[in-house]
Amino acid sequence: MRFLDRIDKDAIGALLDRDEYFWLDLDRPGEEEVDILGELFHFHPLALEDLRKKGQRPKLEDFGDYMFLVYYAAGDPDDGAAIHLEEVHAFIGGGYLVTAHDGVCGALDEARKRLEALPPSSEQFVVYRVLDTLTDTFFPLLEALEERLEQLDEEIFNAPSPDHLQPLTELRSDLVQVGRVATPQRDMLARHIDDILQIPGLEADSRNYFRDVYDHAIRISDQIDAYRDLLIGSRDAYLSVTSNRLNEITKQLTVIATIFLPLSFVVGFFGQNFKWMVERMTTLTEFLVLGGGTMVVSLVILLVWLRRSSYA
């Protein structure tokens, strides 16, 4: 198998004439390069139009002698960095594999190194190796998301804080972003694995390998769904713990207010200028006995009532 990283008309033309399988990998192809691809391979204008556009949904379109694929890989997860998904466009034919992407794609570099170390037994194995490597890039990303989720869970249960709302929102956004490509890729593989195997010129000896790619896609999708459920549980736990703390604070304030309520009443009552009290409460002893005694009695009655209410 030949590997090319730039468009060489003579070399590509010779490979096509000899029907020698090759892999052409392009980094940020421009308009001129896309037009040359159309001339050399006779790609459909709609496929070339899709090649120029980015941010597409994963898909596989059949054009008879070849297929156009939109597939995603996950970039290396960095601490605190945003999720980075690498969009890869590919033309899969019986005598060639053409891939295009923006920037360095580590997954494709790794796939090429594996193929160079262990030459493929067939053209289908090359396609499998590329899809398998692109798919497996999601596992390290999911492990990083799981670590973030576990750490966030621990912090919420130990010391919940409003500062946890932003990490919860960011984690939810990351899971949604990954799920938007992982789930369609799983469904696409489920529908079109047999279509890839039927491309004219590809040797049909890798069916089990493609099933392995589909199995990995299912695992990725299931993990994302599980993490979403865990994230919902973390959010509910945060709201529950916060609500419990608020209830405790409200309870304490209610007890304090209840204790001071009869005291306020007694103080307000004796603060009135009744003739009887003005004439008879002429000494400190009388004031302490009548005024302070009334407050003590009211507190005792209140405490007895609260205790009986708590056991009721």
Structure tokens at 106: 């580590």
Cα separation, 171 vs 155, whole angstroms: 15
Calculate the CA 142 to chain-centre distance: 8
pLDDT of residue 224: 92
pLDDT at 182: 93
**pLDDT at position 81 over 70:** no
Cα–Cα distance for residue pair 12/85, rounded to 1 Å:
30
- What pLDDT, on the 0 to 100 scale, is given for residue 170? 85
pLDDT of residue 294: 74
Provide CB contacts within 8 A for 189, sequence distance 6+: 210, 213, 214, 217
pLDDT computed for residue 78 by the predictor: 59
Secondary structure (3-state) at 31: helix
Q: What pLDDT, on the 0 to 100 scale, is given for residue 87?
A: 95
Please, what is the angle between helix 31-41 and helix 45-52, to 10°? Answer: 150
Q: Kindly tell me if the per-residue pLDDT of 149 is higher than 80.
A: yes
As a whole number, the mean pLDDT across the chain is 83
Q: What is the rounded CA–CA span in Å between residue 54 and residue 160?
A: 41
Report the relative pairing of strands 59-62 and 2-4 from DSSP bridges.
Answer: unpaired
pLDDT in tens, 164-183: 778 888 888 889 899 999 99
Q: What is the pLDDT of residues 15-38, one digit of tens each?
A: 999 989 999 999 999 999 999 999
Residues in the chain: 312
pLDDT in tens, 252-295: 777 777 777 776 766 666 665 666 666 666 676 766 777 677 77
User: 55 Cβ partners below 8 Å, 6+ apart?
Assistant: 87
Contact 197, 210 (CB under 8 A): yes
DSSP state of 292: I
d(CA 219, CA 64): 31
Work out the end-to-end distance of the chain between its first and last CA atoms, rounded to an integer number of angstroms: 84
Separation of alpha carbons 34 and 48, rounded Å: 7
Reported confidence tier of residue 82, pLDDT bands at 50, 70, 90:
low
Predicted confidence at residue 228, as pLDDT, reads 86
Alpha-carbon distance of 203 to 198, in angstroms, equals 9
Phi-psi region of 201 (alpha: psi -120 to 50; beta: other; left: phi over 0): left
Contact call for residues 190 and 67 (beta carbons, < 8 A):
no
Percent of the chain with pLDDT over 90: 40
CA–CA separation, 56 and 227 (whole Å): 25
pLDDT at 239: 72
H or E element that contains 304: helix 293-311
CB neighbour list of residue 109: distance below 8 Å, 6 or more residues apart: none
Task: State the SS3 of 157-169.
Answer: HHCCCHHHHHHHH
What's the CA gap between 258 and 277, in Å, rounded?
27
Give the tens place of pLDDT for each residue, 65-79.
Answer: 899 999 999 987 655
